[in-house]
A and B are shown apart, each in its own frame.
Chain A
Amino acid sequence: MIRYVTRRLIQMVFLFLVFLTVTWFLLYILPGDSVALKYAGNPNIPPQAREVAMERLGLDKPVLIQFRDYMFNFFQGDLGVSFNQYPRPVVDIIGERLPRTLVLFLTALVTYYWAGFVAGKYLAWRRGNRGEMAVTIGGVGLYSMFLPFFAFMLIWFFSVQLGWLPISKFLDPEQWRDAPFAANQVFMRLFWVALIAAFAMFAANFAGHRSHSRALERILRVGGGALVIAGFLYYWFGTESGQSMRPYAGDIAFHMILPVLTLTLIAFAGVMLLTRSSMLETLREDFILTARAKGLPEGVIRDRHAARTALLPVVTSLVLAVATVIDGGVITEAVFSWPGMGEILISSVLNEDIPVAVGAFAFIGVLALIGHFVVDVLYGFLDPRIRVTEHG
């Protein structure tokens, strides 16, 4: 397992280098240089000033030297300086945006994968009734929905008509005026708390799966879940740091409901359909027949025998879905004015702030690569055949 993880890690680092190279050259060979773009609308810039600007930005050097400089600087954490927020380094902007995006992406990803898997499982199990047709058609309809359109419809319905949820942004400035924290501190705290809770939940479930008696499994699962929830509540209500941060964290969570709901509704159908077909195939296998013949309860056959086997192709699809999830996240951020990586990517592109655009894109690539790495490791963990037969 460790060898497998290390090999994947080395591959990922290599892939990242290739990714960075391709991105850089792609942006370089496309017509139009950043200085010309930046000053294109201003005819008053004299040629001398332009030359000085070129020299200061290092654009007068040969391509390969520029490329080498860029790579060196990148790995020293220097991504240049934003054009629009002038003296501010790009790394600073990205550091501010990254936690917000992470919290949003991860919440949406977990929600929609879970929803899709559970829905697909039950759809396959109750094959052929009328509800199945309705859910399938509804799911495909949502799946091909135009994301901004759907998001705005949801905003209109829940925020404008009903007035239940905030329209956009990630916090309520009035409430945060005298806040003793920066928003990002709260985001980091939210991120860690959610991560720890998720890990604890996963561990409890996993221990339950591994146990051989059904009673023990139930105890582990329910008890683990209850323990995690109790810990969660204790943290926010019992401890001092949790209590002081609670209203602010609650505000952020409140603003997160609609983006997460949008992404979930749009994306869960893909997972659902895949789980359904994979589950239907599994249900035809001999070991399911054996399990039925043994007289095992339906729930056990469904959850322990069929669903676990059917999970494998779904996890594989996660590899392909990482890019899609990030794309969806970028668009969602733009629609909800959620000030994360996707939003800065789009606004910097619209304002022709090239260093920020490239930096944001590079970090979105890093996110995608890390996502792939996690999925690969997870897959190797779930399916022992991968670890053994993997070579090269």
Chain B
Amino acid sequence: MVERNLPAETHMADPFVSEPIIQEVDSWWRIRLALMRRSFRDNWKIFRRNKIGVFGLVIIAFWGIMAVMPTVFFATGFWSPAVYDPVTGLELDPPTRTMTMVERITDPNTEIDQRAVLLDGRIPDTLRIGDTFDLPLQPAPPDGRHWLGTDPLGRDILSQLMHGARASFFLGIMAAVVTVVIATTIGSMAAYFGGIVDSALMRFADLLIMIPGVALLIVIGAVFTYQLWHLAVVIGILSGFGGTAIVLKSQALAVKVKPFIDAARVAGGSARHIIFYHLIPNVMPLSVLYMMFTVTGAIQSEAILSFLGILNTDTSWGLMMNLARTQGYLLQVADFWWLTIPAGMAVTLLSGAFFLVGRGMDEIVNPRLRRR
């Protein structure tokens, strides 16, 4: 196979591919489509050989299904919103533990039963010593109704986990798209124009790389109440003008010196035309790769901010851990594992999966890395 040794970008949209693909097509977009289909097929072949990348893809698919599930469950009536809603749901009939009243500890000053206060009024006042009663358990361990148990507020963990997956996908993909749109444009412009545009944009990028991102996001949180999409845009801007722009610019520089750019210029193409029709499509594969790494970073940043309680959001994996922390269950992992481990592992798995897919795609984008 000769093709496999060609750099991946020539597959993407290069009109100067040596062999004609489909002879009888008449419109340009059909050629594009056919080319894209072929390049996708070839790249998939390379990607599939990388076990780690495929593993990442499987995890992403798993969480993708998880993110869709609540809609299915609510629509089919398998879950009733009153119980399973991730924010307002409440299990009214939690499992109970039968206990026996042994003694009543009354505060001598106020004459209030201290144990009853501790148990938040969950024991009736009429109990005598020796009586048995059912203490409702909240957080409740996993059972048939709640497959991953409930949180201290009586909400279903699995439902929160699924909605958290949705939020993470939304945030990650949006941050990645913003990043890549900005970074590709900036990088291509810097590479194409050079000179003062280049140095201004790149010095700005240098500055942004130096700023600790999470610290900056936290400080912005001091004066501004984040929604999820605000966070996506801020992450997108930080990474799009910063590190990603630098990488994409160096790729665009490599594309810029290729003959087809000169050909387009000689043919009378304007700067805008060349950047958007010739430069950017050829930088795209690397952009997609950096999208994956941005998603990883965005998911982690979101989890950290909502874990610290800075983000203004309803459902998120970080928020689940935040609740476990503020309610004091975080260090009782053995007894209340369902409060921390699912959420923590979810963040780890999904962000790790995008990282793995990125590494797998690395082999497509950098043919140098392929196995010899």
* Interface residues of A, Cβ cutoff 8 Å to B: 15, 18-19, 22-23, 26-27, 30-32, 34, 37, 137, 140-141, 143-150, 152-153, 155-156, 160-161, 167, 319-320, 322-324, 326-327, 330-331, 334, 342, 345-346, 348-350, 352, 354, 357-358, 361, 364-365, 368-369, 372
Contact = CB atoms under 8 A, between A and B. Distances in A.
Nearest to B221: A349
A220 B354 CA distance: 46
Given A146-B351, A350-B309, A30 B223 contact: yes
B172 interface: no
B330 A144 contact: no
A15 B331 contact: no
Contacts of B331: 152, 155-156, 160, 167
29 contacts: A15-B207, A19-B207, A27-B220, A27-B222, A30-B220, A140-B359, A143-B352, A144-B300, A145-B348, A145-B352, A146-B347, A148-B321, A149-B348, A150-B344, A156-B331, A156-B333, A160-B333, A323-B209, A323-B210, A324-B212, A326-B215, A330-B212, A345-B219, A349-B219, A349-B222, A349-B310, A350-B309, A350-B310, A357-B222
Contacts of B330: 152
Contact of A330 (B215, B296, B310, B333): B215
Contacts of B359: 140
Interface in B346-372: 347-348, 351-352, 355-356, 359
B4 to A, nearest CB: 21
Interface residues of B, number: 44
Given A31-B224, A146-B344, A323 B213 contact: yes
Residue in B214, B304, B355 whose Cβ sees the most chain A Cβ within 10 Å: B214
Contacts of B112: none
B243 A348 contact: no
Q: 9 closest pairs, A vs B, by CB? A: A149-B344, A144-B352, A146-B347, A327-B214, A326-B212, A349-B222, A30-B224, A357-B222, A361-B219
Given A37-B223, A144-B296, A144-B351, 17 more contacts: A15-B206, A22-B207, A27-B220, A140-B355, A149-B340, A161-B334, A167-B331, A326-B212, A327-B213, A330-B212, A346-B218, A346-B308, A346-B310, A349-B218, A357-B219, A365-B212, A368-B210
B215 A345 contact: yes
Interface in B261-307: 296, 300, 303-304, 307
Interface of B: 52, 206-207, 209-216, 218-224, 243, 296, 300, 303-304, 307-310, 321, 330-334, 340, 343-345, 347-348, 351-352, 355-356, 359
B220 A26 contact: yes
B356 A140 contact: yes
A338 to B, nearest CB: 15
A365 B218 CA distance: 13
A167 B215 CA distance: 24
B222 A15 contact: no
Contacts of A348: 222
Contacts of A150: 344, 348
B213 A140 contact: no
Nearest to A325: B212
